[in-house]
Chains A and B, each alone.
Chain A
Amino acid sequence: MILDSAQSVVIVPGYGMAVAQAQHAVRDLTNILEKKNISVRFAIHPVAGRMPGHMNVLLAEAQVSYDKLFALEDINDDFPNVDVALIIGANDVVNPAARHDKNSPIYGMPILNVDYAKTVVVNKRSLNVGYAGIQNELFFYPNTLMFFGSAKEAVNKLVNEIKEL
């Protein structure tokens, strides 16, 4: 199993996680992975959430230790060493088009370089576009796996699956 054999996992939470109230499920996932000696970090984009630092507060409320929360500039160079980037309810902030597609409306926006991770798992409710109104090419990358469903159910399912192993 991908997560099970990983050594380093980075979770990228977006506002979709907060809408689905999946913070506690994500915390459970973090704990269970750490029990298996898998390193878990969180990569937080500056505009994740609805105000500066909002995502950090939501994760702190779910008792995620603050030293696991990394800002974009502190984690971005490390994605090539990451086995699994797990994206939960984020979209535009992980769209690689921002790096290379000059015609994209988000061109030039700082993004989290999750596509450099060995495997990218994206949890979303549907393929609907994010705030910028554009499709995300990341979802079609060969190293990307999509997992549709509400963040809370999806993450809980994942936790149960790992427990059963």
Chain B
Amino acid sequence: MEVVSYLVYLIASILFIFGIKKLGSPKTARQGNFLSALAMFLAVVITLFDQRVLTFEYIIIGIVVGSAIGAFMAIKVPMTGMPQMVGLLNGFGGGASALVAFAEYYHILNKTNTLDISTGVTIVLSVLIGAVTFTGSFIAFGKLQGFVTGKVVKYPLQNPINILLLLIVLGLGYYVVANPTSDLILLAVVGISLLLGVLLVLPIGGADMPVAVSLLNSYSGLAASMTGFVLQNNMLIIAGALVGASGIILTLIMCRGMNRSLMNVVLGGWADAGSGGTGEGLVLKVMPNLLTLKN
């Protein structure tokens, strides 16, 4: 059975790659999306046969609830709201990865009462990236939807605080790897990562959200990849890496479109750049109505 599941995971990985390849042309894009969905379906079905999966009531609840919410969102969202939708979905994906890593942490600990270094490191990274993606995406959603100010938010010591928080997270992560049973410390990693997600996206201006959403898209892929490291599952690593690459490319395209560096966007640089010329003294030809468009 194990061999069969490895093969199915391999087929799914190949289908994901083909799916993205076919997304490269409007003619084949729908087919590509379908191939990718088929890969996901195969991956889910074969996982249900995994020897670890023995009870199904929670699985049924989870899939029914998640499908209902996902389908509702997908059908209802207007096309103008697509950035918000993708923002939210990024957040759910990242959140799921962090939760899976945390669940796996407890599972391994319950079974063996210890955690080897490689697994520990990947769990911490998975939790960190997943949690940052989760809250960061919800702030991005809020900014696009107008719940959170679309303005560039600046506060004193913005960068030192973020760097300090990141160092604290990494320090705590190191502690967890060295002392695997300290689950409260891992919880602190989650908490600070969630805060970090908020602080990283809050300064970014509303019109720079294309960059933020693309970057978070990349993070959600990285988070999935990290979960693949935790589970030692190549399919997750491949699928996550494809998404990570996609998000990074789109992020760079957006930055290039504005001739700005990623740092400039992420640190909320542009919007207070000054007022430039006012155009005073120049002649503006205004059309009071379109009939005057006639020559």
Contacts and interface: CB of A to CB of B under 8 A. Distances in A.
Chain B associates with chain A: yes
Contacts, number: 130
Given A147-B287, A158-B290, A54 B273 contact: no
Contact of A105 (B205, B273, B289): B273
Interface residues of B, number: 43
Interface stretch (A33-41, A75-83, A136-144): A136-144
Nearest to B283: A140
A47 B253 CA distance: 9
A2 B207 CA distance: 33
Contact of A133 (B257, B273, B283, B285): B273
Contacts of A108: 259
B271 A157 contact: no
A161 interface: yes
Contacts of A45: 257
Contacts of A104: 276
B286 interface: yes
Contact of B270 (A2, A132, A154): A132
Contact of B287 (A132, A140, A145): A145
Contacts of B257: 45-47, 72, 109-110
Nearest to A2: B293
Contact of B293 (A1, A58, A106): A1
A161 B293 CA distance: 10
B295 A1 contact: yes
B290 A161 contact: yes
B26 A46 contact: no
A46 B82 contact: no
Nearest to B251: A52
Interface in A39-91: 45-47, 49-52, 54, 57-58, 61, 66, 72
B285 A144 contact: yes
B280 to A, nearest CB: 9
B294 interface: yes
A52 B284 contact: no
A146 interface: yes
A3 interface: yes
Given A1-B295, A50-B144, A137-B277, A146 B290 contact: no
Interface string B240-262: 00000000001001101111100
B287 A46 contact: no
B82 A54 contact: yes
Contacts of B82: 50-51, 54, 57
Given A61-B79, A105-B273, A145-B285, 8 more contacts: A2-B295, A46-B256, A49-B83, A58-B80, A106-B259, A107-B259, A131-B205, A137-B282
23 contacts: A3-B293, A18-B80, A52-B210, A52-B253, A57-B79, A58-B79, A104-B276, A105-B270, A106-B258, A127-B279, A131-B207, A131-B270, A132-B270, A132-B271, A133-B273, A134-B276, A135-B275, A135-B279, A137-B282, A139-B284, A140-B283, A146-B285, A148-B287
